[in-house]
A and B are shown apart, each in its own frame.
Chain A
């Protein structure tokens, strides 16, 4: 294995690690919400403000959480990952 392919494998592993943590975060948030629905219905029916139940707020927040996780990934990919890749490619020349 030469140095470049070692760097590529390392970058691939790093990529999968980030992907794994972000995917786990999404799974935890979504299934946490589902489990609350299944096991603690009264809690989700609790009114925070007139018209706003905790369930509706958390539901909307799950969608927002998906956006936030995607934002984190895009930032990581655009700033760190793309640069590392360019660096490995640059070594070639």
Chain B
């Protein structure tokens, strides 16, 4: 099959230009309303539950899940589905354990909740280390992915692509803050969902609108093995470790958690997780169709010829079914997808730098509004420029593991401390700090010693640590360290103030 991928595509560029123009228009409108730090971080808390549900979906569904999983399914069949399911199952955990108490106990970041009844400085510093590690690793993965994708999709130079993504994202966040970020994420979620839905309908139209006919066609072409588990999961412990990180990491991602402060109350936070889970689940079910559709209609050899990792399966499928116009639309949607995710990441990193570190650590909580607003924007600029530089530095490097690493740190540093701070009276400052540091450091050390780095990147014959993802060790370790250290020496003030936490879990005001 011939493809115009990677060549200058005027239609793709036009769709893309329309998206950029619209989103910058929204940013201009949002900038006029973004007059205070509360507006900058949380859009003033005026986003509805439904809107926030869409924005959460837009914040979460990265290009890796759209293009990457469709490609994995196209090349590996059933094995690719393991990822799409893993990325969804964290959402119920967010709903049951995190969303509502988080909304009631915090103000701008999840660190507000961890630090609520503990000593501010040590908790904020150690939580900020974890948050910034998650944000930076996730940003590198997104930026390198963006550069590669845009080069493949539009035939644009890698460095230029990284700078455009960084520059447009900075415009959204610096001027429009959370308001612009939210609307970019909402529009992206709608575009992504309608694009995949349209693609799935066009695929199914070729198979009498029966997914089973499609799966059967895949089995006829590549053998029944594509419908069964294959080589991807060979070591059960590896699969469990990755599964734990994906599931609990979702509930510890700073850019996801921050979105719960954009709604009016806990009930709206509840509603937003419901809509997010419906949208994200539906999207991942559609990736079943997209992946197998690309496998049958485009063919594995054709997909691998353009990109060995299979990332171009969905765009190639779009071109096969709807010509250059549909390819252009899907390419623009992929670009929008990346922009929405990096904007959310950068904003949450900037909130931690300014709100947690500058205001609450450097200034002991005593700053005026103007100063915090200025620091927040400067922090955004800093992170955006850093993202562009890292994107360029890591060009051509294998960064796929960084998403897994970001989830592992989120699951090992952020999630245990956050959960214990809300549930367990006995948690002390030193306990929380040791837990977060243990989670972050063990994730980093274990991933360095794992086959992911030692074998895949450093080309050594074997690795000292057998698992590809550290979650199975680092998450229980973070909980154990937090509990043991807290039990060694109790903290009177922290346990006295727990009554306040118990009351505020239900409601923002102390009842």
Report chain B residues within 8 Å CB of A67.
Answer: 277-278, 281
Report chain A residues within 8 Å CB of B89.
Answer: 26, 30, 62, 66
State whether B229 touches A37 (Cβ < 8 A). Answer: yes
Report chain B residues within 8 Å CB of A53.
Answer: 78, 215, 224, 227-228
Summarize B's interface: helix, strand, loop or mixed: helix
Residues 228-250 (chain B) with a chain A CB within 8 angstroms? 228-230, 233, 235-236, 239-240, 243, 247
Report chain A residues within 8 Å CB of B92.
Answer: 22-23, 26, 66, 69-70, 73
Summarize A's interface: helix, strand, loop or mixed: helix
Knowing A38-B233, A56-B288 are in contact, say whether A70-B228 is a contact too (CB < 8 A). Answer: no
Q: How far is the CA of A24 from the CA of B392 in the complex (A)?
A: 43
| Interface residue? B194 (CB, 8 A) | no
Report chain B residues within 8 Å CB of A51.
Answer: 211-217, 219, 227
Knowing A34-B240, A35-B236, A66-B91 are in contact, say whether A49-B225 is a contact too (CB < 8 A). Answer: no
0/1 per residue, B259-277, Cβ < 8 Å to A?
0000000010010011001
**For residue B234, which residue of chain A has the nearest CB?**
A38
0/1 per residue, B67-85, Cβ < 8 Å to A?
0000000000010011001
State whether A66 touches B277 (Cβ < 8 A). Answer: yes
Report chain B residues within 8 Å CB of A47.
Answer: 224, 227
Sort chain B's interface into a size bin.
35 or more
Report chain B residues within 8 Å CB of A9.
Answer: 499, 502
A-B contact pairs, 23 of them (CB 8 A): A12-B506, A30-B85, A31-B240, A34-B82, A34-B233, A34-B243, A35-B236, A38-B239, A39-B236, A41-B229, A42-B228, A45-B224, A45-B229, A51-B216, A51-B219, A53-B78, A55-B228, A56-B215, A59-B288, A64-B281, A67-B278, A70-B92, A74-B270
> Hey, which bits of chain B sit against chain A, CB under 8 A?
78, 81-82, 85-86, 88-89, 91-93, 95-97, 211-217, 219, 224-225, 227-230, 233, 235-236, 239-240, 243, 247, 267, 270, 273-274, 277-278, 281, 284-285, 288, 423, 499, 502-503, 505-507, 511
